[in-house]
Every structure is written in structure tokens, then in C-alpha cells.
Amino acid sequence: MSRHAMSARNAHRVRALAITKLVGASIFLAGCAKDAPQDVFQPKGENAADINNLQYMVFGIAGVVGVIMTVLFVVTMTKFRDKGQPIPEQSHGKPALEITLTIIPALILSVVGVFTFRGVFDLAETKDTELVINVTGQQWWWEYDYPVQGDWGIDKPIITSGQLVMPAGTKVLIRETSRDVIHSYWIPALNGKRDAVPGRIHTLRLHADNPGIYAGQCTEFCGLSHGNMRMEAVALSKEDFATWVTNQQAAYKEPEKDSLAEQGEAVFLNQCVRCHQVNGLKKADGTAAIAAPDENVYAGAAPNLSKFMSRNTFAGATWDLLKKDCRGNVWDAKSEEFGAKYLEGVSADCLNEVDLRRWLRNAPAMKPMYADPTKLEPTDGKYRGMPYLALSESDIDKLVAYLLTLK
């Protein structure tokens, strides 16, 4: 279907819904609150807007029916309370009225049904996809990988986690799956939720009108730290997205000689690389350091930390890598300035060292995880989540310095 026809139809629908939308908006002021990042009434892309139109319609109808029923209840109860009137005629009903009252809701609902039908199929459309991203859920974080797509300059796969980076104004198709239990991917501003089911691949279209950052949260109960499994979708203009792609594919930058960061690299090679891959990192003997999370983590993967500081969050997007005001700078940026600010990544000044250090010191104390080494019998000794590593404070200093170089 051509884009022209699509938008024409959308326009038609928007007109058709204008009245109900007004009513709905006035009843459900919930939709107009400020600063609620997961508000379902603030669509920021065409898929979410489609849903929102349906929401306004059905909330509007529900509101009107609700008002009518309330009036009916109040009138009934005041008019017919026992004022000493005689016991009324024992009439058993009026079939004509009954039938009318059955048909009216049926008619209203069939109108809603028609729009719903169209909405469902519109939202399931995948034919005109422009960019595909694989999204994999795992207890309790999301992994994003970008299959090779020459049109977007992606010559080798990009892998990241926590924040989904996508071009604005583009029809992005995410293909969701999971490595362990069912999770659900939900960025309310961009689309409804879709479960990530292990063994299945589900598709969901995301579209953001403008650059910006959109919050989300895993919405299928996925075990202990379900409450700590968040995600953010970052939409960049197409140029900024190209920059981001180039940056992600750039070669590994070794830390400066004799710096704290270089010592941090050694600590990383010693401790972290068991699970966390950093593409291009080499062992002391010059061979590539390849992580083997499948040997240590039950689900078989851990976040890839290449270009770690190009992201703004860590640990399932639950904590920020940016200090509060630096974060505010990014989140509140106008859409034309947003890309530049986001692409700055995390600088040493902006790094939220408090939380990062707390995490390195004792991750399971910060986020409930199945990481008690004495209780790993059901998983054959493998962890679910990051264990306590007993790092010394000086090791943590070194690691923080090293992680800051991963940009």
C-alpha cells in the first residue's frame, strides 16, 4: 500500500473521530499530565497515534455511556424510593424495550468493532519496513542487535543493550525474542506492548516522529527483578543515526599507556571478560578476548560492553550512567538539539559514579538477582544476573577509569 493512501486513510479516520476525541479528552484528563514518561495518551509516533485515536474513541463512548447510566441510577433511586406508595404491579418486563436495549449496545459496539478491526491490521503491517532490529529479552535486561543492513551503513552487526537507538521518521521493525522467560517490550509513546516469548519471534513496529528519548518498562512478569527491567528508545535524526552507526562500528581504542584505565583493562580481562564481551579487546598474549557468558550465565548472554559509555544507562536501564543534571540535559533537550547531546555520550564529569561503583561493589545487593553461589543447584551452577565479585576499591577505581574509555 502506498504511503499516500495510508495517510489519506489516517486523515479520514482522524476526522471521523474528532468529536469523540474531544469528549474523551475532556473526560480522561489523565492523558494530559506533564512529565509522565510512560503516559499512554501521549503518542510520539504514527503507530502509537493510531492506537491513541482508538483509545479516544472508546474512552469517549465509555464516558458518555457512563454519564447516562449515572443519571439513570440517580433518578431511579431518588424517584422510586419507598415513600409509602403501594406495592406496584408485578410486571415481568417489556420485551420490546428489552430488545431495543440489546440492539443499541450491539450497534455501538459494532461501530467500535469496525474501527478495531482496521486498527489491528494496520498495526500488524510489516511490509514497508525500513530498518530491522533484533530485540532479545533476558532476566532482567534487553539486548539489541542490528543485522547487517547496507542502506544504513551497518556493515557488520552492532550490538548494544539498555537503549534502543533508532532513526526518527523511520518505520523500524523490531523482532523480539527472549532467552529465558517471557518478557514484554513496551514503549508507550511509540506503540503498544508485545511479548518477547522464548522460542518465538514476534514483530512490532516502532515509529518516532521526532528525535527524543522515550521510556518503557518490561510488562510481563519475568521473575525476581521484573520491577527493575526497563528500557529506553532513543530516536535520532537520520544523520545523527548514521554518526551513531559509524561510532558503534569504530575499532576498539586501547587505553593510554600507563594510565589507570590501562590497569582497569587488566582487571576487566581478569574478571569481567568471562561474561562481558568488548569487541576488539585483546588478551595479554595478543589474541582476542572472547567472553563465554554461556558458561557462567544461565540464559547464555551478558550485556556486550563495547561502546558502553555511548549509552546513558546500565543494569537493565534501571540506573543512569549520567548524573542527574546531565541526564536532565539529554531528556529535556529540544528535538533539534537532542541528537548532538545524546551522541556526546558519558563524559568523566557527567558519570554517575555513585551508582556505578555501588553496582561494581555488589550488584545483587542493588538489584535482586539469583546470584547467590550457594543456591545455583537448579541452574547447574550458572548465575541469573550479575554475581558479587568481591572487587577491591582500587580495582573498582581502575575499572571505572577503563569503562570511561569505552565510547
Interface of this chain with another protein, residues 103 to 122, rule: CB under 8 A: 105-106, 109-110, 112-113, 115-117, 119-121
Q: By C-beta, is 288 or 348 nearer to another protein?
A: 288
Q: How far is the CB of 332 from another protein (least distance, A)?
A: 12
Give the one residue of 11, 18, 19, 102 binding another protein; rule: CB under 8 A: 102
10 in contact with another protein (CB under 8 A): no
Residues 341-370 that bind another protein (CB under 8 A): 368, 370
Q: Maximum distance among all alpha carbons in the chain?
A: 101
Please tell me whether residue 62 binds another protein under the rule CB under 8 A.
yes
Run of H or E including 172 = strand 172-178
256 versus 295: smaller Cβ distance to another protein:
295
How distant, in Å, are the alpha carbons of 113, 121, 123, 167, 378 from that of 43?
Answer: 22, 19, 14, 17, 43
**Pick from 397, 327, 374, 359: nearest CA to 141:** 359
Q: C-alpha grid cell for residue 205?
A: 513496529
236-275 positions binding another protein, by CB under 8 A: none
Q: Which stretch binds another protein (CB under 8 A): 51-59, 237-245, 254-262, 338-346?
A: 51-59
Task: Output the smallest distance, CB 258 to another protein, in A.
Answer: 28
**127 touches another protein by CB under 8 A:** yes
Instruction: Report, in Å, the least distance between residue 394 CB and another protein.
Output: 30
Residue 399 near another protein by CB under 8 A:
no
Among 87, 251, 284, 390, binds another protein (CB under 8 A): 87
Helix (H) or strand (E) holding 343: helix 335-343
Indicate which single residue of 1, 30, 250, 365 sits in contact with another protein (rule: CB under 8 A).
30
Q: Which residues of 61-98 are buried (b: 16+ CB within 10 A; e: fewer)?
A: bebeeeeeeeeeeeeeeeeeeeeeeeeeeeeeeeeeee
**Nearest alpha carbon to residue 204 among 189, 217, 185, 188:** 185
Among the listed residues 227, 230, 225, the one whose alpha carbon sits nearest the alpha carbon of residue 213 = 230
Position 218 contacts another protein (CB under 8 A): yes
97 near another protein, rule: CB under 8 A:
yes
* 170 near another protein, judged by CB under 8 A: no
Closest to 251 (Cα-Cα) out of 227, 225, 282, 287: 282
Torsion sign, CA atoms 275, 276, 282, 284? negative
The reply on whether position 73 binds another protein by CB under 8 A is yes
Identity of the residue, 196 or 401, whose beta carbon is nearer to another protein in the bound complex: 196
Burial level of 364, CB count in 10 A (0-12/13-18/19+)? Answer: middle
Asked if 6 touches another protein (CB under 8 A), the answer is no
Per CB under 8 A, the list member of 45, 162, 188, 212 interacting with another protein is 188
Residue 26 is a binding residue for another protein (CB under 8 A): no
Cell 514497508, residue located: 128
CB of 257 to another protein, least distance (A): 25
